[in-house]
Amino acid sequence: MARKVFIAATGQDCGKTTTSLSLIHLALKKYRRVGFIKPVGPKPSPYKDFWVDKDAALVAKVFGLEDDIRLMSPVVVQPGDTRKVIDGIVTREQLEQQLIKACKELEERCDFLIIEGAGHSGVGSVLGLSNARVARLLNAPVLIVSGGGIGHVIDDVSMNLALYKMEGAEVRIIMPNKLIAEKRARTLEYMDKAFAQENFIVHGGFNYSPILAGPTLQHVAELFDVSLRANQEQARHIIKHIQLAAASTEKVVEILRNSTLLLVNSSRSELLVMLATLHHIPEYAEKLSGVLISGANPIAKLTQQVLDDSQLPFMRTEQFTSTVFHTVTRDVSKITADDHEKISLVKSLAEQELDFDLIDSQLG
């Protein structure tokens, strides 16, 4: 029977999937057969002729686990499913049996199994399958990924712990993640003190990385559902800075930072032409990852021709520039299977910053 761990979180965007990828990578150095399951999948994605959760599809592709994909995503939540459960059309017992059966089969095939939850501890409660309940049903020790602060993180962890305790699921590890490097030791020290009376350890996760946090141009294009004029290498390039072109043309060019996505209103013809020209110069090609052109006004015909003839990656949306800026700066980029640079970095950082033997020792 496989050793296993349930990867939970105090909320969205803590780095739960990144942690799962890291643990699979590290487990493969110690165990021959490593598996993954997302028991309740709230993000349905088509896979061949059926549906799976996006995270299950990601892990399957990255680690070559496609043969197990049906088992890796046993309950995929489609629109309307919550009403079916509440109305009794689909019973909670049916869903429980689906995920228990899939997990049991993977346990028999694997030496080590990563079980990834969905969001905070209460997500899935409407189905009778909160993360805390699923962890208990699968009899899996829990690792909770949290944010990287002190006060609010301790509050968040305490609130989530209450449900795991109520359900009888055993939390073994708290992993503060996205830590500020200069504050890492201090943060972990205070987390240790705050939970000194609990039966789990505090183990630091990743330090905050702008590369892991940054989106690719392709991700931004998908975010706005627009086409991207770029080659494959440009589309996968990671954006480190997002700047709004609100100043004069000369000033905008002067303050460009490395790997910038520049948001430009469609009426700024002089700036667009300048950017298309400068992109031929290596110094500016490094600074300017691409341009997101926004606004209802059409792009001038000659300006559009200059853009089309240039090698400058760009995309176009008719949304208001203010709306676009708000959307793209609030978005948290999720890793996809095509984000090879990010995935390589995750594996490398995992080897440097995570102690897998310590984590593994807490799961017995």
Tens-digit pLDDT profile for residues 304-356:
999 999 999 999 999 998 899 889 887 777 788 888 888 998 999 999 999 99
* Predicted local distance difference test score (pLDDT) of residue 346: 92
b/e for 231-267, b at 16 or more Cβ within 10 A? eeebbbbbbbebbbbeeeeeebbeebeebbbbbbbbb
Is the pLDDT assigned to residue 92 strictly greater than 80?
A: yes
| Ranges of CATH 3.40.50.300 domains, the chain | 3-208+336-361
Mean pLDDT, all residues of the chain: 92
Q: What is the mean pLDDT of residues 231-257?
A: 91
> Shortest CA distance to 143 belongs to which of 74, 200, 193, 187?
200
DSSP state of 104: H
Tell the CATH topology of 215-330.
3.40.1390
Lowest mean per-residue pLDDT among 24-33, 76-85, 135-144? 76-85
**CB of 315 within 8 A of CB of 221?**
yes
Task: Identify residue 126 by its one-letter amino acid code.
Answer: V
| Ranges of CATH 3.40.1390.20 domains, the chain | 215-330
CATH class of 3-208+336-361: alpha beta
Extract the tokens encoding 252: 């905008």
Strand runs labelled E in the chain: 3-9, 34-37, 40-41, 44-47, 50-53, 75-76, 112-116, 142-146, 171-176, 201-202, 228-229, 241-244, 260-265, 288-294, 314-316
Give 228's strand partners: 315
* Pairwise pLDDT comparison (336 vs 266), residue with the higher score: 266
* Predicted local distance difference test score (pLDDT) of residue 337: 84
Q: Is the pTM of this model over 0.85?
A: no
Percentage of residues in the chain having pLDDT higher than 70: 100
* Predicted local distance difference test score (pLDDT) of residue 236: 86
